[in-house]
Structure 1
Amino acid sequence: MSKIEDYIKTKAPGSLYGEWAKKEECWNAIKNQDFNIDMESLKVDLENKLSVKRKRITEDEVENQLIQAEVDFIKSIPIAKWLEISKIGSEIEGMTQHLKDRAINIQSSLRLNKILSEHQRRDAIKIIENILENSPNFFDEDFETSNKIINQSNEEINPELILKMVEWDTKAKVLSAKELQYIADFGYGLKTLNDFHEKNIRRHLSRLKDAGFKV
């Protein structure tokens, strides 16, 4: 795959090699190339009748993992921040009185260590995304999270990985345009990562991985 990628990038007639890669002429050219690949060396990785069946993750398992990632993400925000959201909500475009009230309700459940309901979880994500869209600097300040969580992935969140995410999703279009711009700002060094933003990017990374993105 790496040899084919290099070939496409170097032989593309223009800078948009991704577009050329979709065309029949590109694949005809590839079929006529000898990439000096030793197929014998790949046999061990190919499936056959004796291969161990790989465990398939059900849609419910994927959904449960995504829900848990969102819950962990919500809990990573200090309770004090939720109180602040309920106070400044009217200053943020799109923050209705209902969402302000929900912020109070959510922080109350978090303070009492209650399990968030599905409605609370959905509202919490809606509130966070609304703030990131309309008041992106709200979470820029450094703060110590009162609820420590274990990251589900061990990947180091750095500009190189973020730019790889941006490049992949430009074609896959899993993220919305605003979500893609959000992570791109960190990849290009326009914004500085802190604990909150790193967890948010990990949440987006999890979505991309579920859609087929490979780190």
Structure 2
Amino acid sequence: MTNRAEICRTAAATLPESLRPLTEHHLFQLAERNPAAFAPTANKDRDQKPLKILAQVVASSDFITRALAALPELLVEIQAAGGVPQARETGEISLTVDRVSRPGPDRETLARELRTIRQKEVARVGWRDLIGAAPLEEVVETLSELADSTIGAALQYAHREVATHHGEPVGGDSGVPIRLTVLGLGKLGGRELNLSSDVDLVFVYP
């Protein structure tokens, strides 16, 4: 059976020579953590395509490499799809965020879940972008939905915390319940976030 070191060398063989040693090192670390994603099948030619794509991505992005190490199930999912993660449907990320934020978890759990979703989804769309599988419209829409939904979940949690400890906020003049509003400016406001964008927010009480 082909050993992991040989699998990693073969996967990185088409890269520029200067990139091969570090890429092979990262691939081997991923294989040690997640052998299922590197397990050979009876069809060696079919095995090579996703591994060569993986080598290309690992050579191009430290962020995605770290995400794959932290989220082994993501690598298995992508390799099973032939090395090309599927595009998200509109609203799919929002449903995932809503699912992990209900019923209301504690602060640490929610923060951890939101960080994991962010890491996973940025890695997925970044992967698709790197290999030319995602048009610009997909990248900006996916990242904008990710930002909208995670900010919304954090805002809902903050409102529940305030209401629990201090009572429901009410307008001084109207006497009716009010909520903090978060405005997304710049590229988020225009739904044009890209992989290098900051998120500009303004917090407003009505």
Does the alignment reach a TM-score above 0.5? no
Larger proportion of strand:
2
Alignment TM-score, normalising by the size of structure 2: 0.23
Alignment TM-score, normalising by the size of structure 1: 0.22
